[in-house]
Amino acid sequence: MLLASSETTARATTPGWRAAMDTMAMAGQAAYHALVERTPGFLEYWRTATPIDEIRRLRLGSRPAVRRGGAVTRTTVRAIPWVFSWMQSRFNLPGWYGLGAALDHAEPGLLQAMYVEWPFFRAILDNAEMSLLKADMGIAALYSGLVPDRALAAAVFSAIQEEYARTRDAILRATGHAELMDGDPVIQRSVHLRNPYVDPLNYVQIEMLRRLRASPDPDGPDAEHLREVIAITINGIAAGLQNTG
């Protein structure tokens, strides 16, 4: 209510800002859909570069990870496991992908004014900054290494890495920050302090996923100890990053 009735929110309804938001929204959506919906093999990439299949097995949440029908597809997976799987593998992709393409469709001066004067727009960029800071393209590259189709892995990861850099640079220009989350040094320091403890859990998870997928019987009793370790790493990474989905 406070945000909705604030003077800055009312001022933010000016035609120039609304038109800019409409243009950016369409550009961001187009970039996101180009990757997620229209890239051949993207579903395979997601299923093999993240622990989504292991997340499905966890007894978490009030509803199954996949809607009625059973098959894991982009349209059947629920929102929380979709985001959770990308967070676990340190891509954090749903939190920022396409934003760089969106911001490139507005003048830097306009973006800076919107960031300073419009709480709604500022909240969008601040949340994206946090997603970018918690992401780690170096660790994400190791998860990408789990994808059997190496040509697919190279093509998709290249697109993700390029958009990550574009989004980071565009946000820093708009916010005037030198580094991500400079506007909230408490959270910034917290993330920097936690990451060295979370990173080893990612390394363990990657190795366990590699061993599990190479197992002659991934669903057999001999693979159970691998799944137990993976479950522990999932819990640890979620706790360390303070994110699930």
Burial zone of 158 (CB within 10 Å; 0-12 exposed, 13-18 middle, 19+ buried): exposed
Count of residues making up the chain: 245
Quote the pTM value: 0.89
What does the pLDDT look like over 209-240, one tens digit per residue? Answer: 999 999 988 888 888 999 999 999 999 999 99
Q: Quote the CA–CA distance of 100 and 108 in Å, as a whole number.
A: 12
Residue type, position 161, single letter = Q
141: which residues sit within 8 A by CB, 6+ positions away?
157, 161
Of 112, 130, 108, which is closest to residue 121 (Cα–Cα)?
Answer: 112
What does the pLDDT look like over 23-34, one tens digit per residue? Answer: 999 999 999 999
The pLDDT value given to residue 64: 53
